[in-house]
Structure 1
């Protein structure tokens, strides 16, 4: 059986879990929690970067980076389910990458406050990452993917955006919703259509000093 190394709060791991559900692959992949901060965790030998998610295949080969794993799972399920075929595929890949970038920037902002004492934090660095998030969210506010009709109707771009917005809810509170009402309504509709999105939701664990504050 394949094994997914991840952590419940990870939005990148959540992407893969949603894809497993949408593609009917949950019974073929066991989820095993990983601790990226623990040097003794076998994750570092499975993925030299020590990052999650990582997918251990039946033959022991390991795939890492959520976008790579998503491509593999789509192929395993027959192809062209999460990703459209033809020229429109590249727009889907672009939007997935942008939503991934929002998550990356958000996580870097979390780490800045989690791992540094207040006197060592760099407000310019935080503002730089926040600006990336703002630009990405502004793009999606004007270019939202369709709300899926059901779990089996989700795409790589829609599930990645949903995970990005879910991560903002968990780490930054609801301030972003005030600035991006279309996305707030979109992710609520996504959750209503995709029950497994609710099942993978984590309770709020807000970034210190940023709780319920708008991103901008």
Structure 2
């Protein structure tokens, strides 16, 4: 039996791509949840620290009060609820390893994107460490171009959509919104097509990112 609406609470704003990939997955699995859009900055950080000592999102409260933190751990739990026949991450074997490899590259590239955004947002321009920013940009570029080349279609692993498609599309849309010129210059047409296809779906439309504080429209 899937949880009732008042049993699961997702903490974090959809503006976080890590929160959004969890929210999209919840909706694709048909699992209802309550949404508490806390931010990992300002006064919300104190609230988040009550169940995550480093004050990060997402977090998912289960019906017995247990708190899951980190999007990968939450998705693993949701895959278990969905069961092996519906899970967006294959249960075992080469298919599972392939999806996990795609997710590892996507997560690494997105983490470097976010780290560079934080540098540009929280530090004055004259204090930016340009060699480090250049290194982050290279990892973002290399990660997403590798993913683009790996997408043979219609989905990353063939005929069936997996968590790799969901996560990469969420991360790509986030990056494209934050650094439009940089992402346009990557020439990742396959990822553009994947993201455009998925963002018209009900799960993506229901989790549109809120306006947020991090700098928009960086080069």
Calculate the TM-score normalised by the size of structure 1: 0.85
Write out per-residue CA displacement over residues 122-155 of structure 1, whole angstroms, 9 at most, x where no aligned residue.
111111111111111121111016446xxxx642
Q: Is contact 2:12–2:59 with CA below 8 Å preserved after alignment?
A: yes
1:73 equivalent in alignment to 2:78: yes
CA 1:203–1:36: 2 relative to 1, 3 Å: closer
CA RMSD of aligned residues (A): 2.2
1:20 equivalent in alignment to 2:26: yes
SS at match of 2:119: helix
Q: Please name the residue that 2:41 is paired with.
A: 37
Q: State the Cα distance separating 1:86 from its structure 2 match.
A: 2.9
SS at match of 1:19: helix
SS at match of 2:49: helix
Calculate the TM-score normalised by the size of structure 2: 0.84
SS at match of 1:46: coil
Supply the distance in 1 between the matched residues of 2:19 and 2:215 (Cα, whole angstroms): 20
Count how many residue pairs are aligned between Structure 1 and Structure 2: 204
Q: Please name the residue that 1:119 is paired with.
A: 126
1:165 equivalent in alignment to 2:152: no
Match of 1:96 among 100, 103, 106: 103
Supply the distance in 2 between the matched residues of 1:48 and 1:154 (Cα, whole angstroms): 34
SS at match of 2:105: helix
1:63 equivalent in alignment to 2:71: no
Unmatched segments (≥5 aa) in structure 1: none
Q: How does 1:160-199 map to 2 (within 5 A)?
A: 160-178=167-185, 179-192=187-200, 194-199=201-206
CA 1:139–1:17: 2 relative to 1, 3 Å: same
**Structure 1 stretch 179-188 or stretch 55-64: which is displaced more?**
179-188
Q: State the Cα distance separating 1:190 from its structure 2 match.
A: 2.4
Q: Is contact 1:22–1:154 with CA below 8 Å preserved after alignment?
A: no
